[in-house]
Structure 1
Amino acid sequence: MAIHLVANLHFDGISARQAQAHGFADCRDMARRICETWRTRVAPEDTVWILGNVGNPVHLAGLPGRKHLVRGHLDPPAWNCLSTRRYESVCEGRFIETPGGVFYLSSEFESAPEETRVIYGRSRRPSPEGHLCVSAERIGWGPVSLEAILQSSAEVRQAA
């Protein structure tokens, strides 16, 4: 049972021009790639934290994993998200305890508590030390495992 994280899926919500800028023919092509990548990385018993800006949640129905949403600025109110039955929980931010320590999950970098290691979904600036952006376009168009995140952070600390 693994934990995965992803953000900014923008299912059916991103413009064709923006999708093309990322090398996709259109929005459907981008959604198809995200779903294919998701299926190769996530098992049915895994947990997936989606850190905002899902777009059309209908795409989540056939994807494996227990899904939790940390709402982004483009996501509907929590009650509306829960009514889709696509998520086990919906929140504005969440602390999670991991083998690598405590992390705060947020849809936006700016909303993180001070002095906290943060995994977040959206930012217009580079990630500061101790913070990681899991926006789909930055992590290979699908969820990334917490194990991979912790391994990557350990390698960065060893290299310093």
Structure 2
Amino acid sequence: MERELLYTLVYVAPTEEELHALLRERAYPALKAIRDFIHANYQAEERWRYSDQRDAFDCLFFEAEKRLCSAHLREGKLSLLLLLDAREREEFERNWEKFTPAAHVHYRSAAIFDGVKWIKTVLEDTAPLEDIYPMVRMKAELMGMDPVGEDTIRGGDDGK
């Protein structure tokens, strides 16, 4: 990828066929599940950009100018990134019991850069999403994002 394209917004999002070709059979369903979950539950806007790596894209989910989370796509690989500032980290830790043991591992293993915790989860399939969705929900709540529609949030079998 040309150096000048790095982090440049993509004004026409990749098609489903292009995404499927990029992520292949295992990672594509996870991206679809993430996008479906976020759009079913929140009024989030997708912003696509070229990544800092060759032949890669980032899909950032925003409400106004606040980023909920982002998906990073690269040649058969997908990761989900959730950024938490100090206040958000305090709330996450105060509500620790709402998260699964696997979510605790993701949280504890995350690095902190400039006071922001970077929770990055590599997704080879949809299995880890049930551990990640409660974290996305809490981040949305802390951002003041209102759930779409009914009183319950969609996603996950048990409504967590």
Q: What TM-score comes out, normalization by structure 2 length?
A: 0.30
Q: Which has a greater percent of helix?
A: 2
TM-score, structure 1 normalization:
0.30
